[in-house]
Amino acid sequence: MKTAISAYEETISMFKEQCSTLTTYMDQAQGSHEEHRLKENFRRMQTRLLFIVNQCEDLRTQLGQEIQENRERDRRLNSIKADMYQLKKLRDSRISHLKAMRISEEVINNQLRIDEEDENEGVYHLPDSVNLREKYPDHCVETNWFFPRYGRREADEVLRGTPNGTFLIRERNGPPPYACSLVANGKVHHCLIEQTDDGYGFAEPFNLHLTLSDLVLHYAHNSLIPHNETLDTKLSIPVGCVHRR
């Protein structure tokens, strides 16, 4: 994204130079038959420049948000690592206590294996977000799927006739504050997105995604059917990508 911003900045600089050159030509052409044409070119150039500047600012804002999200993610991970370290210390202390009671190491290890199998059964696993970002680049561009000002009616209109798995996320007057509108089995459906202290999700205990982007990436890779049996689909196609084709 930094490379894209740099490219925008170079383009902006080029357009500003061209606007400056046109201004000089307009001053020289005052009263001539070229004056109107130069003014029209200048107006078009200014309009294009403003559009590019706005696009660049949007990218800067998105980059800033991603930096903040990454910092928050790192903070949460560090907190989890600290909790895991404390749990490991507690586990080691309990093992030492059991050994002091002359309970054999074989019995302790067997019990630990049973406990691990019980804990892992039915666990909701979050995939590696780095790999998902590489696999689903369109989902990493928030403007492809986040339409905060859309209501239910606008979502129905923009999704009507699109392929299964096409989706967008919009704001609600809430709570909850967000909804996901998507196409499944040829129909438009609307799902509430909950926001808790643990993160975003469609229902407890699955509200584990730190950001909406994380939620979108997860369900680009996983079906929504655990939350609703009628939604046998993934968040496959950001609606912004459909309408660009």
Instruction: Give 41-60 pLDDT, tens digit per residue.
Output: 888 888 888 888 888 888 88
**Band (1; pLDDT cuts 50, 70, 90):** low
Q: Return the higher-pLDDT residue of 18 and 97.
A: 18
Listed range (97-101, 171-175, 193-197, 233-237) with the worst mean pLDDT: 97-101
Q: Return the higher-pLDDT residue of 116 and 137.
A: 137
Burial class (CB in 10 A: 0-12, 13-18, 19+), 209: buried
Question: What average pLDDT is seen over the chain?
Answer: 82
Which CATH code is given to the segment(s) 129-242?
A: 3.30.505.10
**Band (129; pLDDT cuts 50, 70, 90):** low
Q: Return the higher-pLDDT residue of 132 and 235.
A: 235
Which class does domain 1-102 fall in?
mainly alpha
Q: Return the higher-pLDDT residue of 44 and 158.
A: 158
| Average pLDDT, integer, range 145-153 | 94
**pTM of the complete model:** 0.50
| Average pLDDT, integer, range 9-36 | 82
Listed range (13-17, 148-152, 191-195) with the worst mean pLDDT: 13-17
Domain residue ranges in the chain? 1-102, 129-242
Does residue 123 surpass a pLDDT of 50? no
Q: Note the pLDDT of residue 122.
A: 46
171-223 pLDDT per residue, tens: 998 788 999 999 999 999 999 999 988 789 888 777 878 899 989 998 998 88
**Band (156; pLDDT cuts 50, 70, 90):** very high
